[in-house]
């Protein structure tokens, strides 16, 4: 949970703790909406600002629990943070500018990105710093980060543990490393890039394609970096130990949050939606390319480039017919957080859809591949599941007959939102527990559904 002092300044986090009930579909809508800001960019801005020299300001920083947890961690490391409703100021002291006291405990809450990206900033810590998180984060794999950080020269306690809670101690003798990132994980790539800032000399990374926000931050901040791209991999060289100046950022909308409303529109009849100013960076918009292959009508308007990120208004319309897809694995990384909601579209397709090489889905806030399949089965949709793939037998006239009760999903915000959208677009009776899990990434989710799109949710 985030620091109370920080979260106390905010009112947008939802407070409902009882399950929500959905019994009616939304009829149709034609609307223009905004969604909450990009979580990946928000967390990165907070972390980079903490390493810059001087005051950095962000406008429209995402006010969700994951970002609040990031701010709370930095405060524990002696960084001054001033948070108002639409503006956040962070006063960085440069690289290695943290104030290390004894017994620091950092709580990353539910956030894999925060947990994995804050550790490399501690590479020079003279004391042990403890990192912990919630139940879901404590089950996730940290060995993927521990191993490169040990190569840089950090120590972890207890040794050979793969999960948090654990302690990290840095060293005065950090050395640059050579690192192969083979999972298509932007968190692993970014953790090594952030570690490299603290190492003298050149860190070399060969990374399978994944979201490139960290690279964009490096370029904007003039942190020395070279990137060579080939088909599958990027070769990245980071030149360490160079301070960079403070910077401002207007955070765009989140495509992962937009995804729920895009799919809602596609599945409803006679509906149109415009979602304003969304980050549609090509390393993030896999969902759009997948849905277009499934016949969806989605267009980008008012396209602009801001700090290396592509920003656009997304226009989407209902789909009369949904085509099944044999999803190309080259799109997996760019759609990694959206597969659950894409599975719903596949459930209404005219034929069998196939998604493969998606084992990383079981490494997320919950085991999303397994759980996603179970939810489809509960809805009456046949699936064929392996460790790394799923076949979904779509039914264009799908009618959900049994009541769907959704609980014990480790508070995974995207499982909760997927089920809410299923109830509002496909129908059936739904009882969905832990709606407050949405606070992780998208606190305005229910407000937009009820006040803008006419959802009946009790």
Binding residues vs ligand S3P (CB under 6 A)? 40, 113, 185-187, 190, 210-211, 336-337, 360
Distance of closest approach, residue 310 Cβ to ligand S3P, in angstroms: 17
Q: Are 7 and 76 in contact (CB under 8 A)?
A: no
What strand order describes the sheet that includes 430-432? 20-22, 430-432, 404-406
Nearer to ligand S3P, 40 or 50 (CB): 40
Distance of closest approach, residue 144 Cβ to ligand S3P, in angstroms: 8
Distance of closest approach, residue 444 Cβ to ligand S3P, in angstroms: 18
- Number of other CB atoms surrounding residue 158 within 10 Å: 8
Distance of closest approach, residue 187 Cβ to ligand S3P, in angstroms: 4
Which residues fall within 8 angstroms of residue 5, CB to CB, at 6 or more apart? Answer: none
Distance of closest approach, residue 373 Cβ to ligand S3P, in angstroms: 18
Task: Determine which helix (DSSP H) or strand (DSSP E) holds 90, and give its type and residue range.
Answer: strand 87-93
Nearer to ligand S3P, 25 or 213 (CB): 213
Structure tokens at 149: 């950080």
* 412 labelled catalytic: no
Cα–Cα distance, 420 to 120 (Å, whole number): 36
Nearer to ligand S3P, 192 or 453 (CB): 192
Nearer to ligand S3P, 337 or 423 (CB): 337
- Number of other CB atoms surrounding residue 24 within 10 Å: 14
Nearer to ligand S3P, 31 or 208 (CB): 208
Distance of closest approach, residue 190 Cβ to ligand S3P, in angstroms: 6
Parallel/antiparallel/unpaired status of strands 202-208 and 166-169 = unpaired
Nearer to ligand S3P, 360 or 456 (CB): 360
Cα–Cα distance, 430 to 122 (Å, whole number): 44
* Among candidate residues 129, 117, 120, 127, the one with its CA nearest the CA of residue 153: 120
Distance of closest approach, residue 323 Cβ to ligand S3P, in angstroms: 26
Nearer to ligand S3P, 114 or 166 (CB): 114
- Catalytic annotation, pick one of 38, 66, 234, 337: 337
Q: Are 432 and 20 in contact (CB under 8 A)?
A: yes
Packing angle of the helix pair 339-347, 368-378 (nearest 10 deg): 30
Q: Are 223 and 193 in contact (CB under 8 A)?
A: no
Beta bridge partners of 139: none
Biggest alpha carbon–alpha carbon distance for the chain: 63
Cα-Cα-Cα-Cα torsion 386, 387, 391, 397, nearest 10 degrees, comes to: 100
Q: Are 414 and 336 in contact (CB under 8 A)?
A: no
Catalytic residues: 337
């Amino acid at each position: 949970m985030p620091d109370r002092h920080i979260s106390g300044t905010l009112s947008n986090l939802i407070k409902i703790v009882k399950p929500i009930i959905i019994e009616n579909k939304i009829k149709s809508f034609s609307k223009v909406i905004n969604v909450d800001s990009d979580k990946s960019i928000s967390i990165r801005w907070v972390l980079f600002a903490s390493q810059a020299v001087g005051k950095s300001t962000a406008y429209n920083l995402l006010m969700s629990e994951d970002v609040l947890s990031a701010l709370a961690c930095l405060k524990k490391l002696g960084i001054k943070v001033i948070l108002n409703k639409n503006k956040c100021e962070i006063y960085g002291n440069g690289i290695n500018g943290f104030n290390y006291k004894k017994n620091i405990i950092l709580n990353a809450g539910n956030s894999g990105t925060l947990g994995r990206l804050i550790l490399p900033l501690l590479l020079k810590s003279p004391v042990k710093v403890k990192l912990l998180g919630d139940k879901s984060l404590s089950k996730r794999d940290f060995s993927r980060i521990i191993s490169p950080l040990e190569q840089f020269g950090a120590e972890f306690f207890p040794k050979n543990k793969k999960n948090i809670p654990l302690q990290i101690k840095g060293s005065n003798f950090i050395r640059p490393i050579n690192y192969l990132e083979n999972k298509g994980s932007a968190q692993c790539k970014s953790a090594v890039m952030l570690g490299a800032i603290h190492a003298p000399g050149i860190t070399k990374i060969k990374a399978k394609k994944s979201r490139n926000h960290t690279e964009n931050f490096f370029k904007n901040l003039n942190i020395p970096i070279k990137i060579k791209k080939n088909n599958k991999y990027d070769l990245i060289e980071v030149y360490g130990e160079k301070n960079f100046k403070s910077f401002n950022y207007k955070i765009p909308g989140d495509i992962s949050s937009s995804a729920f409303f895009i799919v809602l529109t596609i599945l409803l009849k006679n509906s149109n939606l415009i979602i304003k100013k969304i980050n549609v960076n090509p390393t993030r918009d896999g969902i759009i390319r997948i849905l277009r292959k499934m016949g969806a009508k989605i267009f980008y308007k008012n396209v602009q480039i801001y700090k290396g990120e592509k920003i656009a208004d997304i226009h989407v319309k209902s789909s009369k017919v949904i085509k099944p897809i044999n999803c190309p694995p080259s799109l997996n990384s760019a759609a990694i957080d959206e597969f659950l909601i894409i599975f719903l579209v596949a459930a209404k397709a005219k034929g069998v859809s196939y998604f493969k090489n998606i084992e990383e889905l079981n490494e997320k806030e919950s085991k999303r591949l397994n759980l996603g399949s179970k939810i489809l089965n509960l809805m009456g949709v046949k699936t064929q599941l392996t460790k790394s793939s799923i076949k979904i037998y779509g039914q264009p006239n799908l009618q959900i007959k049994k009541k769907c009760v959704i609980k014990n999903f480790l508070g995974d915000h995207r499982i909760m939102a997927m089920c809410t959208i299923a109830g509002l677009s496909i129908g059936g009776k739904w009882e969905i527990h832990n709606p407050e899990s949405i606070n992780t990434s998208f606190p305005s989710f229910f407000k937009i559904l009820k006040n803008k799109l006419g959802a009946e949710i009790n």
